[in-house]
């Protein structure tokens, strides 16, 4: 018998259906499949069934081994039933095929199952970029005789490096705080976390250090044939208030003369196909959907066979994908019928970017008929389909008009911009919406009336990172991988290092960066992390052995830990104080509505371990409120009508959940009101 190992239950079902007919079997709640006429079992993992751990205490520790995740983490207890099914089936088989996602993580998942459950040194490998029947059958027929060992070794080394840095340095930090404050504090720092937090902290410090500079502007609202249009003085910003006021008085409400008209045309090239990062950035722009939510939606679309593998860095669409066939399939969806007819009349040559991925092409729709999608998945799917159409389109064209005006010999500028040719943009509506400001027909020498405005303003600090812009910045710095960057941001948020959107670094986050910067700057080094990424690429290409890279990492970690131990008391005190300050701020929701003196703060019951809100004026004031037990939370500036600020709760998947925690709020939606909706 042959055992095909999938990464997730949904993938196992797809593979079995493609190679079947298959009989679904069950062991408890876990399904697996038997294709009896081909003597094949298909079963799945549920992500990683094995993780690195060590029995040794203290730090630094480098003696690690792979153990079942259900043995090392309570939160992974659910993996045991999948482990058991695979172990049981493996005993009945003499041939093994790994059909996990074709990437570094998928290779490690498959490798561990093969060697620890199947007791084999190698296995055959299916490689595919979509979950369509056609691709899965082809991947099975043309399966490789061995695992991708370069990818497997690189993946193992990534896990080992992350454990070395993350566990050892986090232990060092927590030990320092514990001894300085006599309390347990959960802190973490890692190989990618450190530089990522440093990147965010650098921007936060720029904002804090920023000193606004005042400036003045003079605007003229010019009344033209089709409406009132804004012009600004040629100098734009005046840094001398006296000079600005003199000019304003000179031109105030005086007639304006058209002195010069210049028109320029610019081509708007079709976009590149989506890789994961550009999809996450565009999804945030269009829907304000976080990178993590976007990836989750894309993963759902992939496992449903609606799109290709999303965790790709490629901007290439090879012709062998069969563009005509895909577009013809998409035409069966009434929403896209008209567009597909237009796209099919082109030469079907995609506008590709430079980025490549050895394992997968850019993200594209498979053309499979969509049955039903959730809200997030439907939005992301429409975005991917329309982007796919757009890469085959002609360039669009925009025309800019710059009008020079004279008011009492003072130069002003008025601008307009219009789209003169939609090109590919007509297939990307509504996501291609561009600002349009059409000026009427103007002639040099014409005189118009205007109303002048004097405006005082000041320079603004650099913008904070959004969830999308930080993903782009991490990619630019080569920090993390396409698949892990969104998760890194979530980890930093979970640890209390960052908060809100746009992203603000907390006092704890700043203190972590400042402390490590003084006593262990290596862990914040972008160059070090970038170097390890390059080393992993060499291992993947079989140009370098993992052992030498790991030996170098051990030396670095030993040095960092030694530096930590020399300054343990200082480090512990600094981080401990920052942690307490950050937690106090975060856990303070509002002023007590009853006594008006104390603060309503989040506390955790020693008996039940449940969290609740209580007045800091206890025992004089015994006001107490309940709150949700799951999810991180952030107090919003938006106030409920009852006078209590709203609080966002962030569950791992889905949108934030906004609540008013005041149990006596008369503006809350009553249960009977929900039922009547």
Q: SS3 for 23?
A: strand
Phi, psi of 253 (to 5 degrees): 55, 25
C-alpha–C-alpha distance, residues 395 and 423, integer Å: 5
Smallest CA-to-CA distance from 95 within 65, 122, 71, 64 is with 122
Q: Active-site residue 667, yes or no?
A: no
Q: SS3 for 203?
A: helix
The per-residue DSSP string of 423-463 comes to GGGGGSTTTT----BPPPP--TT-EE-EEEEEEEEE--PPP
Q: Which of 309, 381, 465, 497 is catalytic?
A: 309
Token pair for residue 496? Answer: 């209390």
How many Cβ atoms sit within 10 Å of the Cβ of residue 570?
14
The Cα-based distances of 43 to 69, 76, 84, 91, 472 in angstroms read: 18, 19, 11, 13, 37
The per-residue DSSP string of 241-309 comes to HHHHHHHHHHHTT--EEEEEEEEEEEEEPPPPPB-HHHHHHHHHHHH---HHHHHHHHHHHHHTTSB--
Query: Bridge-partner residues for 81, per DSSP?
Result: none
Those residues with Cβ within 8 angstroms of residue 240's Cβ, 6 or more apart along the chain or in another chain: none
HSE (side-chain half, CA atoms, 13 Å) at 163: 17
C-alpha–C-alpha distance, residues 206 and 355, integer Å: 32
* CB 251 within 8 Å of CB 219: no
The per-residue DSSP string of 381-432 comes to HHHHHHHHHHTTSPPEEEEEEEEEEEETTEEEEEEEEEEEE-GGGGGSTTTT
Name the helix (H) or strand (E) containing 590: strand 588-591
Alpha helix (H) residue ranges in 117-148 = 133-141
C-alpha–C-alpha distance, residues 379 and 372, integer Å: 12
Smallest CA-to-CA distance from 327 within 380, 392, 273 is with 392
Token pair for residue 325? Answer: 């066939």
Token pair for residue 643? Answer: 């006078």
HSE (side-chain half, CA atoms, 13 Å) at 59: 23
Cα 5 to its chain centre, rounded Å, is: 29
The Cα-based distances of 643 to 200, 593, 597, 601 in angstroms read: 33, 9, 15, 16
C-alpha–C-alpha distance, residues 275 and 292, integer Å: 15
Phi, psi of 368 (to 5 degrees): -60, 140
Active site residues: 309
């Amino acid at each position: 018998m042959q055992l095909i190992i999938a990464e997730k239950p949904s993938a196992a079902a797809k593979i079995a259906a493609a190679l079947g007919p298959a009989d679904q079997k069950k062991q408890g709640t876990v399904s697996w499949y038997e294709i009896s006429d081909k003597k094949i079992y298909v079963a799945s993992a549920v992500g990683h069934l094995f993780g690195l751990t060590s029995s040794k205490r203290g730090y630094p520790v480098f003696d690690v081994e792979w153990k079942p995740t259900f043995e090392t983490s309570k939160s992974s207890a659910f993996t045991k039933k999948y482990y058991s099914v695979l172990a049981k089936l493996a005993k009945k088989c003499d041939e093994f095929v790994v059909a996990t996602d074709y990437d570094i993580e998928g290779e490690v998942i498959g490798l561990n199952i093969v060697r620890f459950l199947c007791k084999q040194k190698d296995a055959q490998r299916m490689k595919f970029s979509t979950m369509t029947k056609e691709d899965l059958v082809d991947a099975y027929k043309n399966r490789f005789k061995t695992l991708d060992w370069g990818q497997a070794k690189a993946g193992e080394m990534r896990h080992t490096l992350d454990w070395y840095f993350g566990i050892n340095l986090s232990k060092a930090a927590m030990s320092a705080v514990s001894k300085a404050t006599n309390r347990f504090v959960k802190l973490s720092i890692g190989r990618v976390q450190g530089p990522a937090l440093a990147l965010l902290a650098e921007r936060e410090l720029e904002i804090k250090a920023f000193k606004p500079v005042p400036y003045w502007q003079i605007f003229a609202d010019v009344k033209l044939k089709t409406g009132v249009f804004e012009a600004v003085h040629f100098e734009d910003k005046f840094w001398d208030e006296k000079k600005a006021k003199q000019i304003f008085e000179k031109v105030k409400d005086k007639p304006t003369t058209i002195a010069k008209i210049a028109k320029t045309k610019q081509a708007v090239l079709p976009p590149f196909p989506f890789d994961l990062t550009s999809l996450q950035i565009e999804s945030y722009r269009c829907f304000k959907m976080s990178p993590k939510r976007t990836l989750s939606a894309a993963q759902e679309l992939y496992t449903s066979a609606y799109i290709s593998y999303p965790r790709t860095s490629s901007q290439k669409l090879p012709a062998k994908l069969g563009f005509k066939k895909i577009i013809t399939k998409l035409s069966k969806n009434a929403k896209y019928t008209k567009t597909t007819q237009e796209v099919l009349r082109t030469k079907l040559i995609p506008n590709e970017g430079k980025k490549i991925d050895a394992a997968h092409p850019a993200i594209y729709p498979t053309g499979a008929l969509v049955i039903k999608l959730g809200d997030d998945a439907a939005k992301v799917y429409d975005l991917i389909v329309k982007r796919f159409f757009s890469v085959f389109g002609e360039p669009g064209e925009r025309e800019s008009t710059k009008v020079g005006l004279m008011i009492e010999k003072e130069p002003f500028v008025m601008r307009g911009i219009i789209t003169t040719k939609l090109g590919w943009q007509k297939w990307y509506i509504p996501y291609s919406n561009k600002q349009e400001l059409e000026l009427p027909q103007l002639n040099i020498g014409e005189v118009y009336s205007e109303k002048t405005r004097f405006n005082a303003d000041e320079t603004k600090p650099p913008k904070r990172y959004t969830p999308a812009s930080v993903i782009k910045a991490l990619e630019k710095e080569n920090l993390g991988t396409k698949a892990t960057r969104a998760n890194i941001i979530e980890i930093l948020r979970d640890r209390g290092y960052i908060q809100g959107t746009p992203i603000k670094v907390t006092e704890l986050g700043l203190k972590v960066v400042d402390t490590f910067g003084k006593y262990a700057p290596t862990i914040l080094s972008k160059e070090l992390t970038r170097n390890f990424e390059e080393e992993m690429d060499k291992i993947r290409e079989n140009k370098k052995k993992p052992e030498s890279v790991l030996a170098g990492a051990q030396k670095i970690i030993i040095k960092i830990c030694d530096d930590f131990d020399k300054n343990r008391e200082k480090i512990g005190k600094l981080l401990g104080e920052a942690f307490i300050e950050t937690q106090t701020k975060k856990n303070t929701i509002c002023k007590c509505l009853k006594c008006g003196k104390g603060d309503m703060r989040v506390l955790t019951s020693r008996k039940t371990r449940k969290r609740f809100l209580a007045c800091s004026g206890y025992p004089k004031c015994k006001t107490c409120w309940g709150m949700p037990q799951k999810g991180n939370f952030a107090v919003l500036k938006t106030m409920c009508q009852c006078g209590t600020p709203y609080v966002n709760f962030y569950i791992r998947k889905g949108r934030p959940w906004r609540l008013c925690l005041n149990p006596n709020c008369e503006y809350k939606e009553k249960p009977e009101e929900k039922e009547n909706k």
